[in-house]
Structure 1
Amino acid sequence: MIKFAIVGIGNMGSVHTGKLFEGAVKGATLAALCDADHEKIEAAKEIYGDNIEYYEDYHELIKARPADVLLIATPHYLHPIIAEEAFEHGWNVLTEKPAGVDTLSVERMNEAAKKSGKAFGIMFNQRTDPLYQALRYYISIGMFGEIKRFVWIISNWYRTQGYYDSAGWRATWKGEGGGVLINQCPHNLDLWQWMIGMPSSIQAHCIKGHFHDIAVEDDATIYAEYPNGSTGVFITSTGEYPGTNRIEISGTMGKAVAEDGKLKLFLLHRDEELLRQEKYGFVTDEKVSKIELSFGTDNNGHIKILQNFTDHLLTGKELIAPGYDGINSLTISNAAYLSTWLDRKIELPFDKELFVKELSKQKDKDKQGGAAEHKLSTNTEYSGRWQVHW
């Protein structure tokens, strides 16, 4: 039986707590909880009883090692800090997204993980979605030929002003380290690079407080370039309702469109480059085979990641989302911020220390946020806002 300890029992941590306590993950059990908020720990004791160990200081939890896995569900800045210390004390670590706020600290975390030799995972639950898995597979086998263009409009991360006002750390550079790109979109940025690979340069326009009274971006457009000349466009917002979730990938052998839970394939019978070289005619009526695949909604992605991590420790099963991968999506969002702040294209890899310096300037502009929520959530179901939704 794999024992889990959870540090941070806010919205996400409290649901992970409930699921592990209920036995929703086979071969896993809840052994310890930690939160700096005394009121939350006292409330947790009332719910989960004396069979769980409780801590208000994560340093003490890490040193005590009452479990096999440390699941980190704290505010973003603490993810790499806590993980690095945990690896040094021999823990296996599963962290919530994002991996951190800046790639410099995440790089140190990855080095600590590698040195420790312990298991390292990240909660990229949307990698378990069958549509994304199918699309990634088709790309990997070359079904669409050489990729020309990737476009993702993901604007159904809608949030109200009340959401941003619900805790003092939300929507601040000091608290979250950014807006929609660092809070909602690590999943999508991860899926982008997971399917297509990392770009070589980023040009972005991130708009602060475009739709809400916040200090960070709630609207962003990213333009990316790849070494082979292909391009990518990523558009996101928390201020559009109803929003859109649409992916279009174009290649030399056809294209794919993902929307409304359906994957539409448009496949050529010969490479488009051959059509391009035709000497006669200005257009083509080349045959295109059309296939439409439907995928059901699966809202068990978080449980699948927890189960996969447990199975990895018990049987050596390959991780769906290795923690080392977290730096990739963060590299894209860091580059997008740098591009916006410096008003220029950012080549990858970029200067990590420059990003930290520029981020510090943004922190200095933050206004004081409101009070944090101290009440422990008793909800044990993953909210729809954390799932894949079309």
Structure 2
Amino acid sequence: MVRIGIAGIGYIAEEYIKLIVKQRITGCSLCAVSSRNLQHMETVRKKYGLEQTALFTDYQEMLDSGCIDAVLICTPHFFHIAMAEAALAAGVHVLIEKPAGVFTEEGERIVQSVKSHPELTAGVLYCRRTSKAYRRVQSMVASRDLGKIKRASWLLTNLYRTPAYYNAQEWKGTWKGEGGGLLLTQASHQLDVLVWLLGMPEELQAFCSYGVERQIEVENEAVIQMWYPGGATVQFIASARECPGTNRLEISGSRGQIILENDRHMIWRRLEQDEREYAESSREVYGTVPYTERTLEFDGAENTVQQAAIVNNFIRAVQGKEQILCPAEEALQSLQMINGAYLSSWRGEKIRFPIDATEYRKEWERHCG
């Protein structure tokens, strides 16, 4: 039984507490919670009948107490990296709520900390990696069922947020509170999936719109054009002000196409011949490659299902039973992509990876600090 501590006691922390209490997260016991708000911790402890759970107003004291083996970090973004470093230094396994952090520069520190503590498990709560649909797509891309990837597009406009969402906590919707907006907070799940599926682009250009129809500082709309090694291109469009919005991922390769709607409904069009071979041999002016079409349906798309799955994976990784699905070093890639998108938007130009992490931080402080 892995002894778990939770750092932070806001909305997302309470979601994980519910999943533990309902035994949808198993193999662990909630032994401690850390927050500066003792009154709220006591309220939550009573609400869920957690009389045996220790409360700490000092995070380091919780780490040093000896009563936890692992910690879930559920605090605002700027605290993620330093708290993860402290956990590893204390010999405690760590799972960080997304994003991994705010700055690639800091993210590189956690990668070094992980390397210094190979006996410990460190991951990030990018729970879309547990999705049955995305795992099927990842398998198809990796096995080259789609052939050579030509193009992908993701229309992600169902991340709707009202002003009440931003007003619920004073740090939300601000650069100094969140470190970013739509890309860093809501859409970072999908950007992580994109990197997991296709890897990092060579270049990108981003166009961000800030505070559209909302009284916020950060972006709530973004368009990103990416260029990949080998000639593939990707377009990512996201919005937090459309309702009901769309969630549609398309990936096209030389052997076929996948269209995935709402993380559940997949159309798989499989070409009978590689498109490049067909194009070179066909004499038809308006010829098309013959293909077969299948429709697949996936369950398990609910957020709580995926949240439980990613924490269960972490617990089994701590126990040595599984590989962690999203190691901290992989999460750094999507953070670098997000930093690159902001940098491109501010400068109005295409940027190339890897970005200069120190230069990005200076640019962030100039625009947002």
TM-score (norm 1): 0.90
Alignment partner of 1:288 out of 283, 287, 291:
291
Task: Pick closer, same or farther for the CA change 1:30–1:131 going to 2, 3 Å.
Answer: same
2:217 match: secondary structure:
coil
- Note if 1:165 corresponds to 2:167: yes
* Superposition pairs of residues 1-390 of structure 1, within 5 angstroms: 1-47=1-47, 48-117=49-118, 118-260=120-262, 261-278=264-281, 280-299=283-302, 300-364=305-369
Identity percentage of aligned residues: 33
Conserved in 2, the CA contact under 8 Å of 1:169 and 1:175? yes
SS in 2 for 1:233: strand
Gaps of 5+ in 2: none
Q: Any idea what SS the aligned residue of 1:12 has?
A: helix
How far off its partner does 1:53 sit?
1.0
Provide the alpha-carbon RMSD of the alignment: 1.4
The aligned amino acid for 1:342 is R
Deviation larger for 217-226 or 125-134:
125-134
Query: Offset of 1:328 from its aligned partner?
Result: 1.2
Contact 2:20/2:26 (CA < 8 Å) preserved in 1?
no
Per-residue deviation at 1:23? 3.4
Which structure would you say has the larger RCO, counting Cα contacts within 8 Å and 6 or more residues apart? Answer: 1
Question: Structure 1 CA distance, aligned partners of 2:175 and 2:105?
Answer: 16
2 CA distance for matches of 1:90 and 1:164? 36
Deviation at 1:202, TM superposition (A): 1.1
Cα offset, 1:65, TM superposition: 3.4
**Structure 2 residue matching 1:175: 3-state secondary structure:** helix
Q: How far apart, in 2, do the equivalents of 1:263 and 1:217 lie?
A: 30
SS in 2 for 1:222: strand
Equivalent pair of 1:173/1:359 in contact (CA under 8 Å):
no
Q: Deviation of residue 25 (structure 1)?
A: 2.4
Deviation at 1:297, TM superposition (A): 4.1
Offset from partner CA, 1:149-171 (integer Å, 9 cap, x none): 01000110001111111111001
User: Distance between the aligned counterparts of 1:44 and 1:254, measured in 2?
Assistant: 51
Counterpart residue identity of residue 41, structure 1: M
CA drift of 1:96 comes to 0.5
Q: How many residues are aligned here? A: 364
- What residue ranges of structure 1 are gaps of 5+ in the alignment? 365-390
SS of 2:178's partner is coil
Is the 8 Å Cα contact of residues 38 and 55 (structure 2) preserved in structure 1? no
| Most deviating of 151-160 and 45-54 | 45-54
What's the CA shift for 1:298? 3.8
User: CA offsets per residue over residues 101-134 of structure 1, 9 Å max, x none?
Assistant: 1111011011112201211121111111111111
Q: What do residues 52-83 of structure 1 show as CA deviations (whole Å, max 9, x unaligned)? A: 11111212222223200011000001111100
CA distance in 2, matches of 1:309, 1:61: 20
Deviation of 1:41 (Å): 2.1
